[in-house]
Amino acid sequence: MDGYFTLIEHPTSEYIFWWSQSLLLVLAAIGAGIAFFQLRTIGNQARATLLLELDRRFESTKLSDARSILRQIREEAMAAARKVKQNANDAALLELMKPECALIISRLRRENPPTYAKLLNYLGFFETVGVMVARGYVTLGEISWLLRAAILDIEIYFGDHITERRSEPGNTGALFQQTLDLIEKARPL
């Protein structure tokens, strides 16, 4: 029994063992690198799919109807602003339009709830976009390439109305917060 548990040296098998371990480590590193690039590609594809879906939603009939209503509101508010100050430049007209838009939208809220609901759907879309940007699912740059003009127009159409709604009793003051944050982030780009 003496020597039964004695190790017998086999230099060739040791070399094979160490080379196989080294090769296994190299293969594992290559596999990790491939997995990293695959995950990055999948992430980019998911982001692209999300952007395409947002574009599809923005171009949907529901939001197209809301944009049509907003064009009517813009025309009415612009006419009212021009009555107030006929020779105003574009920037001054936009500032004069804001309270007019709030009045028109408040009137729609009272007198035409179905039309007002379409406008809320429009705002809800941008609330969703704001959440996606805040959570990092898409970047602000990507959303700006797609929707910057529409995002900045929200402030003209809805800014005063949102402020008015947020001050109503029973409101937490967080109404459309993600939309307002999105506007603030998109403005300086």
* Whether residue 88 is found in the same domain as residue 172: yes
* Whether residue 87 is found in the same domain as residue 162: yes
* Three-state secondary structure of 74-120: HHHHHHHHHHHCCCCCHHHHHHHHHHHHHHHHHHHHHHCHHHHHHHH
DSSP at 170: T
* Whether residue 135 is found in the same domain as residue 173: yes
Q: In the prediction, which pLDDT does 68 show?
A: 96
* Whether residue 37 is found in the same domain as residue 117: no
Tens-digit pLDDT profile for residues 171-184? 887 899 999 999 99
Count of domains forming the chain: 2
DSSP at 164: H
Confidence of residue 7 (pLDDT cuts 50, 70, 90): low
* Whether residue 91 is found in the same domain as residue 141: yes
Residue 4 lies inside a defined structural domain of this protein: no
Residue 186 has pLDDT above 70, yes or no: yes
In sequence order, which residues have a C-beta less than 8 Å from that of residue 147 and are 6 or more positions away? 54, 58, 126, 129
Confidence of residue 63 (pLDDT cuts 50, 70, 90): very high
Residue 7 lies inside a defined structural domain of this protein: no
* Whether residue 36 is found in the same domain as residue 69: no
Among candidate residues 139, 145, 146, 117, the one with its CA nearest the CA of residue 55: 146
- Domain range for residue 35? 12-47
